[in-house]
Structure 1
Amino acid sequence: MRETASGLGSRPGGGSAIGRRWPLFTVLAFGYAFLYVPVLLLILYSFNESRLVTVWAGFSTKWYGELLRNQQLLDAAWLSVRIAAVNASIAVVLGTLAANALVRHGRFRGRTGFELLLTAPLVMPDVIIGLSLLLLFVAMQQVLGWPPGRGFTTITIAHITFSMAYVAVIVRARLARMERSLEEAAMDLGARPLRVYLSITLPLIAPALLAGWLLAFTLSLDDLVIASFVSGPGATTLPMLIYASVRMGVSPQINALATIIVALVTLAVVIAGLTMRRPKGERT
């Protein structure tokens, strides 16, 4: 009888626990809906027959065909992708070097100033960064004759300036938490520091490098304010073109292009997740 009574007494407690959790689930559901329902609506309206992006007139894929014939939009997208790829690759290299200097070399002369300069782009407004870089490029062109005008080169340099700061923060956190026993063992066995870094350190921080590259690529692809300052005629990025087209009314071609970008980003994230997943036998 006591066991039965105790068993019956435990049921209300379990039910109350579930009752306490449903507000959390509700808030979580509303949070995900707030983030992803607009994206789903954008994908849905990319198949809209109507020229008006807010009026549904039936299913159609014609705007994808119109997108492929819009050379201006394709050129802007290709320019943004090239800038983002070059920016992310260089930012990963520079950010990794900066993180190594801060984590592995302890106290050195000028460390405080170096940290301040490295983290400044994280908190500085984009308007200030864009204006200061514009003045720098104008002065360099007058004194050195380089860069010749403003376009791909100036936008890429500007994006590297703030992207490497984000990469340095990510890689620095990974290096600070990483055990150095494997590196020390390899050096004890006679491996040179460069060999240790390439064979042991880089594979261990590879997830942070990949995360930094993807973040730098996304930040570059999304930037509007800084690119507006340092770009010139004939160098219009995709965000700049979309922002300019909003004044005349958004075309459904923008929805089609955004859907393609979402599909490519989702595919890249899935591939990255599958690549970085370790076999079950290697998990500890």
Structure 2
Amino acid sequence: MGDRDWRPFIYGGLASIVAEFGTFPIDTTKTRLQIQGQKIDPRHVELRYSGMVDCFVKTSRQEGVKALYCGIWPAVLRQATYGTIKFGTYYSMKRILAARRADGGAREHLPTNTVCAAASGGLASAIANPTDVLKVRMQVGEEKGSLVRCFVDIYRNEGVRGLWRGVGPTSQRAAVIAAVELPVYDASKRALLPTLGDRPLNHLLSSLLASLGSAVASTPLDVIRTRLMNQRNVKGVAAVGGVRIYKGTVDCLLQTVRSEGGSALYKGFVPTWLRMGPWNIIFFITYEQLKQLY
């Protein structure tokens, strides 16, 4: 492919889409758990679910199994953009920085990998934010109809800003996840190479370690991001469903802690970790296999 190697972008996008299809129902339960129990939002005061399993079972029984995949198409669209940019940019930046070292070496450094990962994650998430908003609205179950109809409704009622609602915490969360997930995976993989070699078992164990670290670091920002994306501000109309409850990331953080306690920032932690684990396993194994095939 010459000087411009597009394979990390293509492999990253394809592997992200495969992983998304395999883990999406877990993401739906996580989103619904994070939304419930908001004492200052009349739409979501009730605690409908006691945990991930209860949410999964009740959603399936009351709304059908199909409801667990509400929002799958904006999620796939998100991964086609977010995953492509994030992983492609990260691996390309690492390769470029390694090639430009004065001593001609290619040994990786954790600080460099962390900066590359955070930059690629934040950039990709900001670009893909509208697809994330669509996904959250459809998962909560209040936006009915197709992906296009949901997009038109948000644009018509909330304008362009509505599509970028929550972009701050979304980008911050993505940067935190990438800054932990990718360097930890690469470091774990290198450490296990002498024992396990460059094989699927190595990829599996490295991805599990990466997912645990990123889940712990990112869940508070994920809760804030989800709540900001789900709130409405329909052209300034102050009514139930149209009230702007949170002014921004810091305000959402403070109000959540004051009204629900600090533990509320880790609502949905179990499904977050349980989703990140399988998601990372599917992604990295798919990515590594694509690298070996082509």
Would the TM-score normalized by the shorter structure come out above 0.5?
no
Q: Which has the higher contact order (CA 8 A, sep 6+)?
A: 1
TM superposition score normalised by structure 2: 0.33
TM superposition score normalised by structure 1: 0.34
